[in-house]
């Protein structure tokens, strides 16, 4: 094996894997395996739900992003044999062999064993999840008769968001704005009901105090019901049971959306390597998996020892790690010393409905429509490849980023 012909296999075309492939450009014979044909810029999935951005903006085709030197394989990696140095992938009779492996398949939704949650709650991690939720909202609106009493409209338009982290807040404020706008456009009486259900006693626990004030204000203005200290007991096809102070309440819902946390990717669960108590693979400060110098892991599946705690499980971290990973894979192949890095927080940005956001950057918080623009600008800069950034930046600048109303189906 030489540095030029070494087989580098990357599992996962997300913030960790895709950006590693892009940064590696030209080194070895690179294969990227991803179970979707596109990358997904997940921090803007809320804007995709609301129609502020389109699929091509945040979910470009992997093949369009990668140059011809990278082989793209659409498939799911189902098993890794670290001793045989091979990965089984759906649709391929023979396992894919590697000299260097990069593991970055990200996390999956954690339903925490709550009855009915996996079957009936909607996850929110993929384009299709957002499509399904949007359809569910439109469907619920379509079923409200024009002359329905306000309390009937409210009951038909009840949506529960489970999980009070940044995801829950961003999703609930977007949904509330979309639904309220649709109620007005359709001249319905009453208003929608959007709840956030959180087991802890406060929302967005990791967020700084200053930005939290804007979050609380936005939730209040969007008339979102916040149920902290509340546990979900059960989810059914059209309802949810909540427990607060040992008292159960059943609620009818048009949809329950589950953003209450993530768990380890099943691909990694079965791997016999050193892990922490949450199942994250322990990696050296070079991103090498302990005991396997030719295997690197990053993003949501890896525990990196030198990082500020609030960065764990974020795109910011996976993205920063990809630069180090690509550099170290090259160094490993060329027999040069590997580097380590201390990863830092680059700022915080939360979308708060279709017109507002709050952004913490360089120690200052800004909010409102200006922060929304700043967030778009920040995220344009973090999209993959210059070419894609320019196309998307131009589209947002010239065509705007207005939400797409929830029109009646068949409109």
Ligand X SMILES: Cc1cc2nc3c(=O)[nH]c(=O)nc-3n(C[C@H](O)[C@H](O)[C@H](O)COP(=O)(O)OP(=O)(O)OC[C@H]3O[C@@H](n4cnc5c(N)ncnc54)[C@H](O)[C@@H]3O)c2cc1C
How far is CA 32 from each of CA 56, 71, 291, rounded to the nearest angstrom? Answer: 20, 6, 23
* Least Å from the CB of residue 195 to ligand X: 18
Residue whose CB is less far from ligand X, 11 or 141: 11
E strands, 324-405, in order: 348-352, 356-361, 364-368
Give CA angle at 255 (249, 258), nearest 5°. Answer: 85
* Least Å from the CB of residue 25 to ligand X: 18
Residue whose CB is less far from ligand X, 59 or 183: 59
End-to-end CA distance of the chain: 59
* Least Å from the CB of residue 97 to ligand X: 16
How far is CA 36 from each of CA 102, 129, 182, rounded to the nearest angstrom? Answer: 17, 13, 32
Which tokens hold the place of 142?
């379509």
Q: Which residues bind ligand X (CB under 6 A)?
A: 11-17, 33-36, 42-43, 45, 76-77, 104-106, 124-125, 167, 265, 267, 299-300, 313-316, 318
Residue whose CB is less far from ligand X, 13 or 116: 13
Residue whose CB is less far from ligand X, 144 or 215: 215
* Least Å from the CB of residue 158 to ligand X: 22
Which tokens hold the place of 340?
């380590």
Residue whose CB is less far from ligand X, 154 or 288: 288
* Least Å from the CB of residue 35 to ligand X: 4
The rounded distance, in Å, linking the Cα atoms of 243 and 255 is: 18
272 near 83, Cβ under 8 Å? no
Give CA angle at 292 (289, 295), nearest 5°. Answer: 65
The residue with its CB nearest to ligand X is 14
Residue whose CB is less far from ligand X, 53 or 183: 53
* Least Å from the CB of residue 105 to ligand X: 3
């Amino acid at each position: 094996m030489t540095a030029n012909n070494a087989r580098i296999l990357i599992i996962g075309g997300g913030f960790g894997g895709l950006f590693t492939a892009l940064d590696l450009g030209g080194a070895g014979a690179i294969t990227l395996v991803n179970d979707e044909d596109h990358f997904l810029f997940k921090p803007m999935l809320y804007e995709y739900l609301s129609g502020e951005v389109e699929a091509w903006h945040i979910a470009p085709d992997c093949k369009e992003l990668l140059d011809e030197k990278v082989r793209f394989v659409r498939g799911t990696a189902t098993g890794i044999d670290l001793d045989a140095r091979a990965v089984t992938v759906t649709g391929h009779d023979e396992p894919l062999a590697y000299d260097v492996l990069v593991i970055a398949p990200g996390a999956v939704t954690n339903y925490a064993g709550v009855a009915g949650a996996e079957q009936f709650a909607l996850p929110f991690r993929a384009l299709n999840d957002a499509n399904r939720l949007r359809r569910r909202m439109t469907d619920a609106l379509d079923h409200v008769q024009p002359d329905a009493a306000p309390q009937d409209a409210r009951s038909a338009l009840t949506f529960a968001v489970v999980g009070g982290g940044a995801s829950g807040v961003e999703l609930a404020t977007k949904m509330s704005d979309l639904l309220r706008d649709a109620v007005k456009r359709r001249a319905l009486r009453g208003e929608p009901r959007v709840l956030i259900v959180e087991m802890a006693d406060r929302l967005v626990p990791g967020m700084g105090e200053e930005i939290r004030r804007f979050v609380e204000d936005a939730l209040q203005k969007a008339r979102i019901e916040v149920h902290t200290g509340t546990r979900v007991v059960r989810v059914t096809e059209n309802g949810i049971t909540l427990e607060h102070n040992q008292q159960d309440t059943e609620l009818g819902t048009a949809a329950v959306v589950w953003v209450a946390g993530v768990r380890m990717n099943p691909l990694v669960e079965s791997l016999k390597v050193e892990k922490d108590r949450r199942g994250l693979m322990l990696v050296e400060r070079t991103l090498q998996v302990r005991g396997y110098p030719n295997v690197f892991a990053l993003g949501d599946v890896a525990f990196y020892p030198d990082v500020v705690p609030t960065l764990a499980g974020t795109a910011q971290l996976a993205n920063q790690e990809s630069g180090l990973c690509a550099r170290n894979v090259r160094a490993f192949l060329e027999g040069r010393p590997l580097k380590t890095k201390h990863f830092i927080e680059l700022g915080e940005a939360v979308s708060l409905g279709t017109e507002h956001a709050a952004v913490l950057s360089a120690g200052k918080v800004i909010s409102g429509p200006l922060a929304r623009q700043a967030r778009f600008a920040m995220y344009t800069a973090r999209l993959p490849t210059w070419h894609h950034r320019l196309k998307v930046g131009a589209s947002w600048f010239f065509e705007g980023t207005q939400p797409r109303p929830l029109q009646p189906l068949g409109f």
